[in-house]
Amino acid sequence: MLGVNVWRRMLGVDRATVIEDVDFDEEADSVVVHVRPRRSTKRRCGRCGVRAPGYDQGDGRRNWRTIDLGTLMCHLQADSPRVDCPEHGPTVAQVPWAHHDAGHTRDFDDQLAWLVTHTAKSTVVDLMRVAWRTVGSIISRVVAEGLAAHDPFDGLVRIGIDEISYKRGHRYLTIAVDHDSGRLIWAAVGRDKVTLNKFFDLLGDKRNAKIRLVSADGAGWIGEVVTERCANATLCIDAFHVCQWASKALDDVRRDVWNEARKGGMSQHAKELKGCRYALWRNPEDLTARQERKLAWIAKVNTALYRAYLMKEQLRIAIRTKGVLAITMLDDWLAWAQRCRIPAFVELGRKLKRNQKGIEAAMLNNLSNALVESTNTKLRVLHRMAFGFKEPEHLIALALLDRGGYCPPLPGR
* Other beta carbons less than 10 A from residue 261's beta carbon: 20
Hey, CA dihedral for 36, 39, 42, 43, is it positive or negative?
Answer: positive
Residue 214 near residue 230 (C-beta atoms within 8 A): yes
Q: Does 101 bind Zn ion (CB under 5 A)?
A: no
DSSP code, position 205: H
Residue 306 near residue 254 (C-beta atoms within 8 A): no
Closest CA to 352 of 393, 401, 311: 311
Residue 217 near residue 191 (C-beta atoms within 8 A): no
CB of residue 191 to Zn ion, shortest distance in Å? 36
Q: Does 88 bind Zn ion (CB under 5 A)?
A: yes
Q: Does 45 bind Zn ion (CB under 5 A)?
A: yes
Single residue of 18, 19, 22, 48 touching Zn ion by CB under 5 A:
48
Judged by CB under 5 A, which stretch of 6-14, 20-28, 83-91, 215-223 contacts Zn ion?
Answer: 83-91
Rounded Cα distance between 5 and 8, Å, is 5
Single residue of 8, 42, 47, 353 touching Zn ion by CB under 5 A:
47
CB of residue 165 to Zn ion, shortest distance in Å? 39
Closest CA to 249 of 315, 193, 299, 300: 315
Residue 93 near residue 80 (C-beta atoms within 8 A): yes
CB of residue 209 to Zn ion, shortest distance in Å? 34
CB of residue 37 to Zn ion, shortest distance in Å? 16
Cβ closer to Zn ion: 47 or 121?
Answer: 47
Round the CA-based radius of gyration of the chain to a whole number and report it.
Answer: 28
Judged by CB under 5 A, which stretch of 44-52, 195-203, 282-290, 367-375 contacts Zn ion?
Answer: 44-52
Cβ closer to Zn ion: 88 or 171?
Answer: 88
Judged by CB under 5 A, which stretch of 80-88, 121-129, 157-165, 248-256 contacts Zn ion?
Answer: 80-88
Collapse the DSSP code of 25 into the 3-class scheme (helix H, G, I; strand E, B; otherwise coil) and give the result.
strand
Cβ closer to Zn ion: 44 or 294?
Answer: 44
What are the backbone dihedrals phi and psi of residue 366, each rounded to the nearest 5 degrees, phi first? Answer: 50, 45
What are the backbone dihedrals phi and psi of residue 65, each rounded to the nearest 5 degrees, phi first? Answer: -70, 135
Closest CA to 174 of 204, 194, 154: 194
CB of residue 137 to Zn ion, shortest distance in Å? 21
Single residue of 85, 95, 177, 298 touching Zn ion by CB under 5 A:
85
Judged by CB under 5 A, which stretch of 38-46, 111-119, 128-136, 399-407 contacts Zn ion?
Answer: 38-46
Q: Indicate the residue whose CB is closest to Zn ion.
A: 45
Q: Does 326 bind Zn ion (CB under 5 A)?
A: no
Q: Does 87 bind Zn ion (CB under 5 A)?
A: yes
Closest CA to 229 of 258, 263, 193: 193
Cβ closer to Zn ion: 55 or 132?
Answer: 55
Q: Does 100 bind Zn ion (CB under 5 A)?
A: no
Q: Does 84 bind Zn ion (CB under 5 A)?
A: no
CB of residue 55 to Zn ion, shortest distance in Å? 12
Residues of this chain that interact with Zn ion (CB under 5 A) are 45, 47-48, 85, 87-88
